[in-house]
């Protein structure tokens, strides 16, 4: 009986979660949705956007009061809900706004008290301070369990060498948590590299989607970090929390697609009637709604198990595989339902389609 009850999850929001969702949804409606297309065309976030997002307190809330934060309990569920709501406004801006929180959550999970004081205190700021996690590497066969980036111990700490890709906001980050293979030891570890470190070179990368999100390649050539910069990671937990977070952002974007196509197919007429009267159209919309709800329930359950301290590795894997596949399917069907309009930039569905292509790529970018 106890095993069955522990596997259940309650969808009722706490009062704090309800208030937070209301605030974020107002922010999304006023500061994200109206500027998403403009940001995509300009390939950069709107001026001052991240400072405005910082006023939501996403980064401040989990940092302990002694370090200048709000001292709220670490909550994967609350972080997942925030990721979903921001993703409904724009995936690119959502990932950028959540990048410092991902760094903060990782330091809270795995860092010592001294490391938390050193790295979280500067992020407890009234203005936006960027921080990021560098995990992915530029090769087709990339696997997080077999990294090419290495950390070689020496008398001063560690020397880092390698190349990372798809690192959000790296060029403006105060801290970058580089995940590297330990030479002479088993497994991987994280190493906090501070901005301006000698031997670290950052270049901008461009992609078909997530254009407003500053994604960078980070090259590490004998970058020296102190022994105190090493963060002992539990890689499965880091990857699983990231899978849930990125899936939550994708769920939000898919909700935006569905919210757009439903009134479109009801208003668009052909042969004297709305195209939604045709079974092929109605069934496609119904499939999108069904798949979206399945994605959402998978994400909610995985986050719930993480918050309860239960094993959630399998649930996170389902989130990563199922949500990446179905998010792309929902994006494709959104284009299909708009017909020729789905191909032109007058409608936002093509932008959402391009962004959803990244749902399977950005490991380590949104750690809830």
Domain boundaries, the chain: 2-128, 133-231, 235-360
Instruction: Please write the tens of the pLDDT for every residue from 141-155.
Output: 888 889 999 999 999
**SS3 label, residue 271:** coil
At 361 the pLDDT is 87
For 221, the enclosing helix (H) or strand (E) is strand 215-225
Q: Give the fold, CATH level 3, of 133-231.
A: Butyryl-CoA Dehydrogenase, subunit A; domain 2 (2.40.110)
CA 216 – CA 62 distance, rounded (Å): 27
Taking CA atoms, 143 is separated from 69, 133, 269, 289, in Å, by 35, 16, 48, 32
- Does the global pTM surpass 0.85? yes
**pLDDT value of residue 185:** 86
What is the C-alpha to C-alpha distance for residues 6 and 309, in angstroms, rounded to an integer?
A: 10
Determine the 3-state secondary structure of 152 from DSSP: strand
Q: Which CATH architecture best describes the domain 235-360?
A: Up-down Bundle (1.20)
What tokens appear for 119 in the block?
């790295």
Q: What is the pLDDT of residue 8?
A: 66
Task: List the CATH code of the domain at 2-128.
Answer: 1.10.540.10
**Regions of the chain short of the pLDDT cut 50:** 1-5
């Amino acid at each position: 009986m106890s095993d069955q009850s522990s596997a259940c999850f309650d969808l009722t929001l706490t009062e704090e979660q309800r208030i937070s969702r209301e605030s974020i949804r107002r922010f999304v409606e006023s500061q994200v949705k109206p500027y998403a297309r403009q940001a995509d065309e300009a390939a950069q976030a709107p001026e001052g956007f991240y400072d405005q997002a910082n006023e939501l307190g996403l980064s401040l809330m989990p940092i302990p009061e002694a370090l200048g934060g709000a001292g709220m309990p670490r909550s994967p569920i609350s972080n997942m809900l925030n990721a979903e709501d921001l993703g409904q406004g724009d995936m690119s801006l959502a990932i950028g706004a959540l990048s410092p929180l991902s760094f903060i959550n990782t330091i809270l999970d795995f860092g010592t008290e001294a490391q938390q004081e050193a790295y979280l205190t500067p992020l407890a700021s009234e203005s936006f301070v960027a921080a990021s996690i560098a995990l992915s590497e530029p090769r087709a066969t990339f696997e997080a369990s077999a990294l090419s980036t290495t950390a070689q111990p020496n008398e001063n700490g560690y020397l880092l060498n390698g190349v990372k890709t798809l690192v959000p906001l790296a060029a403006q980050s105060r801290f970058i948590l580089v995940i590297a293979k330990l030479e002479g030891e088993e497994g991987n570890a994280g190493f906090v590299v501070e901005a301006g470190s000698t031997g670290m070179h950052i270049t901008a990368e461009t992609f078909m989607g997530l254009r407003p999100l500053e994604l960078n390649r980070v090259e590490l050539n004998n970058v020296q970090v102190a022994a105190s910069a090493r963060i002992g990671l539990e890689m499965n937990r880091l990857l699983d929390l990231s899978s849930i977070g990125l899936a939550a952002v994708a769920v939000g974007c898919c909700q935006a697609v569905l919210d757009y196509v439903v009134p479109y197919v009801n208003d668009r007429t052909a042969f004297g009637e709305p195209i939604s009267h045709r079974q092929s159209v109605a069934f496609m919309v119904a499939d999108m709604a069904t798949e979206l709800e399945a994605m959402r329930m998978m994400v909610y359950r995985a986050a719930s198990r993480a918050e309860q301290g239960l094993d959630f590795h399998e649930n996170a894997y389902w989130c990563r595989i199922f949500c990446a596949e179905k998010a792309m399917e929902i994006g494709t069907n959104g284009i299909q339902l708009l017909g020729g309009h789905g191909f032109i930039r007058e409608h936002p569905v093509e932008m959402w389609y391009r962004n959803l292509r990244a749902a399977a790529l950005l490991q380590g970018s949104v750690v809830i």
